[in-house]
Structure 1
Amino acid sequence: MNATTARPGPVQYAVLAVLAIAFLYPIWWAFSSSLKPAAEIISDPLAFDVAHANLGNYRAMFADVPIGTGFANTALVLVVKGAMTMFFCPLAGYAFAKYTFPGKDLLFGVVLLTLMLPTLVLIIPLLLEMSTLGWVNSYQALILPGSIDAFSIFWMRQSIAAIPNELLDAGRVDGASEFGVFARVVVPVIRPGLAALAVLTTMNVYNDFVWPVIAVNDTSHQTLQVVLSTLAQNVTGNRVGADFATVWGEVLAAGSIAMLPLLVIFVLLQRHFISGILAGSVKG
């Protein structure tokens, strides 16, 4: 009896449609509400009249809030920190997966052990370290801590461990150096895992709030999430008599803009991301 691939029926499609609406509606509501006059956000929060749509909340938000500075700082941290993660963590994973050296299992166990430490436990030691180095209120404090993290090393180690050793030996026989084997043989094979790591790293850096709000306290180094957290205070401080509706209009405008980069990145990399997530679930 030949196995046949089961296809979703009407019930499954209906369930998926309901779930899609449930997940997408908050995004639509935030974006559509950001285009409404501030008073209508409070008086009729669920309705949206295209005829009344305007960019007033966006213009006011850009005038009241240094969101451009937040985007620029976040982009800088994301590019540099992401590049360090995407370069060093696969190399560390490759070493743990394919090399044998004294203390490898113990060292890898220590790396995994750090995954059990809550982030809040590490904040005070990291802050004292940054203070000793004179890096408080600097980009170094935002970029270096956590740029090479245990989860990324573990993720890459699991992806690389599935590569047959014979494939690596073939590269060495062809005269490739060890780094050449990694760059020309390993990297093309683990591309889905790298794409998944890139998406996860982007999300973690982009959404990070606790460490940036502690490591820097001057506006010139604030990341986007820190700027968003103080948005309401900035609006009321820069505009005399700003009411609750005005604040919410600008908050929704800023939130809508902040969502766009992650949505674009996920849409562009979703196929590789899903393949990378599922890569370790199938064996054979």
Structure 2
Amino acid sequence: MTRTRLTLSSVVTQVFLVLLTLLFLAPVVWAFLSAFKPANQIISDPLGFDPSQITLDNFERMFQDVPIVRGFVNTGIVLVLKGGLTLFFAPLAAYGFAKYEFPFKDLLFGTVLITLMLPTIVLIIPLLLEMKELGWVNTYQALILPGAIDAFAIFWMRQVIAAVPDELLDAARVDGCSEFGIFARIVLPVIKPALAGLAVLTVMNIYNDFVWPVVIASSERMSTLQVVLSSLAQNITGNRIGADYATVTGELLAAASIALVPLLLIFIVLQKHFINGILAGSVKG
């Protein structure tokens, strides 16, 4: 009887999860399929899909009207450099907080945690004024450096590194390993799952960041992908005289579908590491 109840419970749980997954995926699938439909059919028959009517017209027009390639290039540059800074310096700072004793350690770590409570919008004006004084408005420096050393990343890595046995570190010191060598050869391999999880979150945060890039990068030359996507309708109607609602909608769906693909691939490839990293990040230190 107990086994039957457990089996029934498992079936109900699986069915619920499948339905929930379909519910979340339905808008994404609809947008992706609609991008391949003729523009007029998107409006006249939004829920229908005829494979014989598949067309790339929406994508061709979108590439002509919208500087999406420039958006991808700028986002890629920011992603590589800013993400690299986060993944290098955040674990180092966390290692110091987790395994070393120094004056005002708790005060400094508390200050880091307090910054997590500040809304991003509160920091926009001070950062913008600072970038203006430095002459960094509409530059890659302004897109990359602010927020590169993320407080959440330091906090998460500190929780993970605190669980690394001190005996491993002491043994490495006895063998003559340098402090940075201990971090690189002992700590990093142990925290690799959590670091992979942090990498996924960092990529998603930088890729989807909109507020700061739209404030600091006002020129089209420096616009990131999310800024380009936010002004798609304006660009389409500005570049294509007489563009109707169906045309604009088709190109919007085409651009959104292309923008979705990189994140989807990253998550599929790193899904296992992401889940393991989330579990590793739940360790209390």
TM-score category, normalised to shorter length = over 0.9
CA distance change for structure 1 residues 14 and 79 in 2, over 3 Å: closer, same or farther? same
TM-score, normalised with respect to structure 2? 0.96
**Deviation of the 1:280 alpha carbon:** 4.0
**Deviation of the 1:283 alpha carbon:** 7.1
**Deviation of the 1:9 alpha carbon:** 2.2
Contact 2:159 2:284 in 1 (8 A): no
Q: Name the counterpart of 2:260.
A: 259
Q: Name the counterpart of 1:43.
A: 44
Distance in 2 separating the partners of 1:218 and 1:282: 44
Q: How does 1:129-278 map to 2 (within 5 A)?
A: 129-278=130-279
1:120 aligns with 2:114: no
User: Aligned letter for 2:149?
Assistant: I
The sequence identity of aligned pairs, in percent, is: 67
User: Deviation string for 1:158-197 (max 9, x for gaps)?
Assistant: 1101111001111112221100000000000001110111
Q: Name the counterpart of 1:60.
A: 61
User: Aligned letter for 1:54?
Assistant: T
**Deviation of the 1:25 alpha carbon:** 1.2
User: Aligned letter for 2:276?
Assistant: S
User: Aligned letter for 1:113?
Assistant: I
What number of residue pairs does the alignment pair up? 280
Q: Name the counterpart of 1:93.
A: 94
User: Aligned letter for 1:56?
Assistant: D
User: Aligned letter for 1:114?
Assistant: T
What secondary structure, in the 3-state scheme, does the structure 2 residue paired with 1:116 have? Answer: coil
Question: Structure 1 residue runs of 4+, over 3 Å off?
Answer: 5-8, 280-284
CA distance change for structure 1 residues 93 and 6 in 2, over 3 Å: closer, same or farther? farther
User: Deviation string for 1:10-31 (max 9, x for gaps)?
Assistant: 2112111101111111111010
Distance in 2 separating the partners of 1:215 and 1:121: 15
**Deviation of the 1:282 alpha carbon:** 5.9
**Deviation of the 1:6 alpha carbon:** 8.3
User: Deviation string for 1:102-126 (max 9, x for gaps)?
Assistant: 0000000011011111100000000
What secondary structure, in the 3-state scheme, does the structure 1 residue paired with 2:116 have? Answer: helix
CA distance change for structure 1 residues 7 and 130 in 2, over 3 Å: closer, same or farther? farther
Q: What residue ranges of structure 1 are gaps of 5+ in the alignment?
A: none
CA distance change for structure 1 residues 107 and 214 in 2, over 3 Å: closer, same or farther? same
Q: Name the counterpart of 2:3.
A: none
Distance in 1 separating the partners of 2:267 and 2:178: 35
TM-score, normalised with respect to structure 1? 0.96
Q: What residue ranges of structure 2 are gaps of 5+ in the alignment?
A: 1-5
Distance in 1 separating the partners of 2:284 and 2:114: 26
What secondary structure, in the 3-state scheme, does the structure 2 residue paired with 1:241 have? Answer: coil
